Structure 1
Amino acid sequence: MFTKTFAPLLLPLLLSLAQWSGASTPRAIVYTSCVVPRTAALTFDDGPYIYMTTISDLLTSKGAKGTFFTETTVGLSQAASNAESLPDDCIYGSKTVARLQHAYGQGHQIASHTWSHPNLDDLNATQITEEFMRIDVALKKILGIQTSFLRPPYGNYNNQVREVAYQLNKTLVTWDFDSQDSLGATPQQSESYYDQAIASSVKTLLALNHETINTTAETLAGYAIDKLQGAGYTLVTVAECLELPPYTVVGTPGQRDETWVCSKKGDKGKRED
């Protein structure tokens, strides 16, 4: 079990959380927009999914950088009818690992979207800590990195979430622009939202997109890149648009072993919704 394996790490953290109270409690910073003028950060949530490489290559081909907020469960529901994805739907699956390493190798930022995409407002400190640490462990094994940034699922967080994030040296990031691709918007509607933002001469843009949406990978991402660059924005990572380091640790990926599984019970590593 994860909590048994990481009990020596969790106990000091949880004891410190239990001792905090009042306005003096340290809490992680939450960013909702970029700070560097004329920058745009395109972000893609809910991967690593089968479209990650398509988006990564598209960004690279256009001289742009992007940020991928990764987790382990949402893509499975989209993959249910896709035979290519089903055998490899765990973040530790060989194809998924290859996608992550490819995007990271191209210089795009990899960040955390928690382990299982819960509403963090509904969790206690122990559960929040596990959500943060478990995805961190996976990315450390796969890429050799410790991420600085975490996007809370649904953009939901409370003071307890910020307190745990602070103790784990995380910066929280939401967004100031939503393409609404995951809410049923057509590509044309999402394109119009980008057009409206550009027409309003926003100084910066921190855009929410989802890499699990095929039309985002095939149509919307390219449109957004071209329009933003054409309007004079520089497309950078979230870390770059905030002038902060993307990772607290940059090292060497681990070697695959029996711990590279998604299930706590050590099954075949299949993600569970």
Structure 2
Amino acid sequence: MPEIGPFAPPRRRTRAVRAARRTGVVALATVAALALTLTGCGTQTVSPASVRGDSGGDGKGRYGSVDCAEATCIALTFDAGPGEDTPRLLDILKEEKVPATFFLLGKNHVLAHPDTVRRIAAEGHEVANHTWSHRVLTDLDRDAIRDELGRTQDAIEEITGRRPTLMRPPQGRTDGDVTAVSRELGLSQVLWSATAKDYSTTDSALIERRIVDDASADGIILLHDIYDGTVPAVPGIIERLKKRGFTFVTVPQLFAPAVPEPGEVYRP
């Protein structure tokens, strides 16, 4: 895929970006910023707030109970890992007592870093599905969609003992076939409200500023823990959003006491 236009990557590639290119992630991610308008003709999305009950949250977990009907909640999510920098990211999240949701790739990621996947789950973060090889699901038939999602489900379950209940379609692209297979596999589809386009820059300050500027209540932040500029930006993002009164939660905690429905497409 030619990389032209405003989202073309910088000439100098970092180690993590070069590694990501080998998995095909970068070429696909260059258009990820358009995903909110590319979810498929007629695809209906639902916001977490619209399905969350008013009886109080039950988001109990490692980092305590959060009621997002009262607190100003935001979910920090990371796509396309784990990678070499993910352990450092986990150290930061542990120190800051911030839970996150990780949408993991199967091929060359989950299989290459099983100890990191195990640690993500053990430290109270949500482990979710980002397909096997980052193929655009709307370009595939149902059998191929099932293979992309099912292989990652199996790989994660083998490592953690638990099958994910959430998925994020590459580029945010979904349609009736993707929805049907997601429902069959027990997976809710989760999009986002803020992205730093961190695939196109190694400037951590810029990544931080973009996320902070776009942060909103009940928001879902999209970052990638495979690019060199991203993990260094996370402490500043956390610090500044905490000062603004945000409470960090996992995606399931954002919905509590409601539970995301398999096949449904959620976007703040």
**Aligned with residue 129 of structure 1, among 146, 171, 185:** 146
Residues 1-273 of structure 1 aligned to structure 2 (within 5 Å): 30=45, 36-37=68-69, 38-73=72-107, 89=108, 91-93=110-112, 96-184=113-201, 186-198=203-215, 202-217=216-231, 219-243=232-256
Contact 1:31 1:172 in 2 (8 A): no
User: Can you list the C-alpha shifts for 1:17-70, whole angstroms capped at 9, x where unaligned?
Assistant: xxxxxxxxxxx9855666635111110100111111111121111011011100
- 3-state SS of 2:211 partner: helix
- Partner Cα distance (2:48, 2:254) in 1: 9
Relative to the length of structure 2, the TM-score reads: 0.69
- Partner Cα distance (1:197, 1:49) in 2: 26
Measured after TM superposition, the shift of residue 151 of structure 1 is: 0.3
- Partner Cα distance (1:39, 1:203) in 2: 6
Measured after TM superposition, the shift of residue 245 of structure 1 is: 5.5
**Structure label with greater radius of gyration:** 1
> How many residues matched?
200
- Partner Cα distance (1:32, 1:193) in 2: 22
In terms of mean alpha carbon deviation, does 103-112 or 33-42 score higher? 33-42
Task: Give unpaired runs (5+ residues) of structure 1.
Answer: 1-27, 74-88, 249-273
User: Can you list the C-alpha shifts for 1:204-261, whole angstroms capped at 9, x where unaligned?
Assistant: 22000001012211x2111111111111111111111122569x9xxxxxxxxxxxxx
- 3-state SS of 1:181 partner: coil
Contact 1:49 1:212 in 2 (8 A): yes
- Partner Cα distance (1:69, 1:90) in 2: 11
- Partner Cα distance (2:205, 2:159) in 1: 36
Measured after TM superposition, the shift of residue 197 of structure 1 is: 2.7
Identical residues among aligned pairs (%):
26
Using a 3 Å threshold, how does the CA distance of structure 1 residues 176 and 242 change in structure 2: closer, same or farther?
A: same
Amino acid at match of 2:123: Q
Amino acid at match of 1:223: G
- Partner Cα distance (1:155, 1:56) in 2: 25
Task: Give unpaired runs (5+ residues) of structure 2.
Answer: 1-42, 53-67, 263-268
Contact 1:121 1:161 in 2 (8 A): yes
Contact 1:40 1:228 in 2 (8 A): no
